[in-house]
Structure 1
Amino acid sequence: MVIINQTTTKTNFSKIITIFMTSIFPFLFGLTMGQSTCVFLKQKYPQFLFYNVPDEPRRASNLSICQSNTPTCCTSQMEEEFSLLTETEFNQNVKSQIRLIHQFFSYSATNFKSHFKEGFNSSMAALRKIFRRTYGQFYVQNKQIFNQFVNDSLLVFEQGNGCFIEALQQLFKRIFLTEFSLLNPLRSIDKEKQQILNCIMSLFPILRPFGFGPEAISQLTGRAFRIWSSTIIALEQISQNLQILEKNFSTPKVVCLN
């Protein structure tokens, strides 16, 4: 579990910038300043493997980084080694910061999802009690209708491509059809009699058998459901994008124009 505050993140990002201040400028300054010998290079910069260090400063016209109008100890081979080392360190620092931010968003998404599921389960338990008090024996004998609603709602949340209000409306429509079948036992409602089914469902918004109950529940729960699910989906998407960025990140090539 990783928790990152804003101050820590800013501090870590500043390290990426300061790497150049602590490596490039001292190096370039040492190469271009007046020197009578170039032996100091191997002593002062042991992290570089210099094979063609001149014995003394000389003028060079093929340099792209440590260009100088005066004799210098810098060579093109030094520039290549220095660029490679700097690029490696820069990549490592950037990937390290991306990894920290990825862990932060991943933790936040997991934390949000955990809180949501706790609230969801609590709400469903309370809703079952309400349905049991409201419908009594009808609820006991037709639990599959309510179980289907719970499964549909959870599926909407996990996949993020559905509508909670639609799942709620389907619940009341199933209750309506089941009650109609009980009150009209001579009329069988099944898939084969689609005409009767369509006729009954067309009367649903007109008859309003549940009054304003569905609309009230939708207003109370639908908005909160959308906010929670949208937040979690956004956090997970950011986390995934950062993971891809960390895996594929590479320093852009810099072209020096003389």
Structure 2
Amino acid sequence: GRGGGSGRGPGEGAGGGGAGSFSPRRRLGGGWAALPATGGGGAMARSSLGPGVFSLGVLLLAATSGGGEAPPSSCEGVRKVFQLRRLGPLRGIPESPRAGVDLQVCTSKNPTCCTKKMEERYQTAAKQDIQQVLQTSSATLKFLISRNAAAFQETFEMLIRLAENYTSTLFCNAYRNMAAEATTRVQEFFTDVGLFIFGTDISTEAFVNRFFDTLFPVVYNHVINPGLTDISLEYAECLRMAQKDIRPFGNIPKKAIGQMGRSLLPSRTFLQALNLGIEVINTTDHLHFSKDCSRALLRMQYCPHCQGLTLSKPCMGYCLNVIRGCLANMAEVDLHWREYIQSLEELSSAMSGTYDMEHVLLNFHSLVNHALIRARINGPELSEQVNKVCGPPVRKPTQSPGCSFDQNKDNQGLKMFSRDSEETLTSRRKEFISHLRLYRAFYGGLADHLCGNELAAADGLPCWNGEDIVRRY
């Protein structure tokens, strides 16, 4: 077998490089340091392997090395793989091995099937291969996050529609004479809720106050001081401005501000965090490789081809050294990634309990009803306060229309989405977080994953050590 039982160092084997040869390297203290790459002694290697594994090793050595230490007599196999991989035109690829004096990385004392142009093509292919393997390894994680981001967003949208439906139905059923005007305010309010949850830079306090400010003129016109005709726009504006001072709804607006702030912010942050996770994966899927890394990848992946070893795979230890060096910056990503998953767990916990979004939104109509009841009970006192601030009501000849809200409009889409959604959302979050926890060490163990599952030779099989085919690294 080629190089397996010789006991020679990497520079002494048939594939060993002379001056300028590129040894396997690993990342040490921020730099690339040369690693020794030796094949195990023949007797030791033979005794450490079972007879079946050893026979398989001999067969693979013969298949990959072209037989013994002699270089391949033809480059036909190399040409076929080059063509199959679509690495470039076959023109210029040697028919038979030649001296590789112009090679920069895949240097060898023996004749080679590579040219400098092929070496450049191989280097591009090596980087593309790693990018592809990176993307494949993260595909499941990326799908987990993106699928849940879409599912949670869809659920939140449905939840907002249902809460709006509940609140509009309240006006149509209990306050029909002002339902048309009130429903417009309700729609505006829940539009703001959606904008906030999905990332728009608006304040929960601002849109809650706006809702009660604009609701007060409607309530005054139809509940506190009803008349045959509606109040004028100017008078309505005065009432809107006076709502905070008159406080017709007591402390309910303040209570709503607290509930909305505590319940909506975790959900908003949760969605933003999921999208951030997808961005992180997209970024790490498209790494920029340094010159040293690119050369190391070339030597690991394609330099064996130059010696006719088109079926070889790198040794596990050698592969880990190269990939860890190329992914050295992932160490920092790993720390932040672990913190990211922990933050998502904490966010998920914050989305449950008294102030969870489902509970707050689906009970908002009840809060509004309490506000309306309070205003009606304190009607005479409120009328006096209004007269002091805005004067007696000024009315216009038109009259408000009745309820125009179609309570059955969304029933088809919402009938499956009831108050049980609280339990459904909570369990969905828990399930998602439990799956995500499995990827806590994803970036820290990425090199091991890539080499173990994709790149390196299986344990016990002959492998490429950067210079030669060996039985152990």
Tell me which interval the TM-score lies in, with the shorter structure as reference length: 0.5 to 0.7
Counterpart Cα distance in 1 of 2:163 and 2:126: 55
Is structure 2 residue 243 aligned with structure 1 residue 204?
A: yes
Asked whether the 8 Å contact 2:75–2:95 carries over to 1, the reply is: no
1:91 corresponds in structure 2 to 131
Name the TM-score, length of structure 2 as normaliser. 0.37
SS at match of 1:151: helix
Task: Report the Cα distance in structure 1 between the residues aligned to 2:123 and 2:14, rounded to whole angstroms.
Answer: 16
Q: Which of 95, 111, 116 pairs up with 1:73?
A: 111
Partner of 1:47: 81
Where does residue 463 of structure 2 map in the other structure?
A: none
Aligned partner of 1:220 in structure 2 is 259
Pick closer, same or farther for the CA change 1:217–1:109 going to 2, 3 Å: same
Q: How does 1:144-155 map to 2 (within 5 A)?
A: 144-155=184-195
Q: Is the 8 A contact 1:62 1:76 kept in 2?
A: yes
Residues 88-121 of structure 1: per-residue CA shift (max 9 Å, x gap): 3223223434554443332121111122233333
Q: 1:117 aligns with which of 153, 157, 169?
A: 157
How far does residue 225 in structure 1 lie from its aligned partner after superposition?
A: 1.5
Preserved contact between residue 181 and residue 189 of structure 1 (Cα < 8 Å) = no
Opposite residue 89 of structure 1, the aligned amino acid is D
1:254 corresponds to: 291
Listed as ranges, the matches of 1:1-258 within 5 Å are: 31-32=15-16, 35-39=69-73, 42-43=76-77, 46-48=80-82, 50-51=93-94, 53-54=96-97, 62-67=102-107, 71-74=109-112, 75-77=114-116, 78-97=118-137, 99-128=139-168, 136-137=175-176, 139-140=178-179, 142=181, 143-158=183-198, 160-181=200-221, 183=225, 188-190=231-233, 193=234, 197=237, 200-236=239-275, 238-239=277-278, 249=286, 252=289, 254=291
Task: Indicate if the aligned counterparts of 2:142 and 2:281 stay in contact, CA closer than 8 A.
Answer: yes
SS in 1 for 2:94: coil
Sequence identity of aligned pairs in percent?
Answer: 15
Contact 1:113–1:232, Cα closer than 8 Å, also in 2: yes
Which structure: greater helix fraction?
A: 1
Q: Secondary structure at the match of 1:167?
A: helix
Structure with the greater alpha carbon radius of gyration: 2
Judging changes above 3 Å, is the alpha-carbon distance between structure 1 residues 187 and 122 closer, same or farther for their aligned structure 2 residues?
Answer: closer
What does residue 6 of structure 1 align with? none
User: Structure 1's 227 and 175: CA in aligned 2 closer, same or farther, altered over 3 A?
Assistant: same
Structure 2 unaligned blocks of 5 or more: 1-9, 18-67, 83-89, 296-473
Aligned in 2, Cα 1:84/1:159: closer, same or farther, shift over 3 Å? closer
**What is the identity, as a one-letter code, of the residue corresponding to 2:15?**
L
Deviations 1:21-77 (A, max 9, x none): xxxxx9xx763389444427655885246416436xx5x554321345xx2334443
What one-letter code is carried by the residue in structure 1 that aligns with 2:266?
A: I
Within 2, Cα distance between the matches of 1:65 and 1:175? 76
Residues 165, 227 of structure 1: CA spacing in aligned structure 2 closer, same or farther, 3 A cutoff? same
Q: How has the CA–CA distance of structure 1 residues 128 and 184 changed in structure 2, closer, same or farther, with 3 Å as cutoff?
A: closer
The aligned length equals 218
CA distance in 2, matches of 1:81, 1:151: 55
Which whole-Å CA distance do the structure 1 matches of 2:15 and 2:282 have between them? 39
1:244 positional shift = 8.2
